[in-house]
Amino acid sequence: MLSPEEAVKFHGHAGPFLAWGYRAGRFATEKLKPNGIKEMSCVAKLPLEIPYTCIVDGVQAGSCCTLGKQNLKVEPGDEVELTFKCNGRILKVAPALDLKRLLLRHGKREAYKLVMKMSENMLFRVVEENGR
């Protein structure tokens, strides 16, 4: 996975949606513990517009699930929901906070920093988890 600095460079700017996707990718990697970068896959459901799609770059940087390897699929949805799968295990997460509001209140750079520092409990609502 890329470092947070590399993720920002890859994406082009720091923002809370990129940060959330990145943290979600790391969170899933820590929970599902894939062997190598091909074992885990992700389906990202979200509104197909900026800034929501910034999440996709964060997921790629944080989890190494990528569009090019086809272990990342992006689907349109009204809400943000990421479903990670690895060896029969599933982890489905959604934002536990209002990222858009955070962005409006603090601006891109500050909101990015806040999301990078927040606890996982504040960032993620685990919608589904199985296979333990």
Which residues in this chain contact Zn ion in the complex, by CB under 5 A? 15, 18, 54
Secondary structure percentages of the chain, helix, strand, coil, to 5: 45, 25, 35
- Our CB check for Zn ion shows the closer of 15 and 34 to be 15
* Shortest Å distance, C-beta 13 to Zn ion: 6
* Shortest Å distance, C-beta 85 to Zn ion: 25
Place of tokens 């509104």: 47
- Our CB check for Zn ion shows the closer of 32 and 123 to be 123
Pairing of strands 72-76, 40-46: parallel
In the chain the first and final C-alpha atoms are separated, in Å, by 24
- Our CB check for Zn ion shows the closer of 3 and 87 to be 3
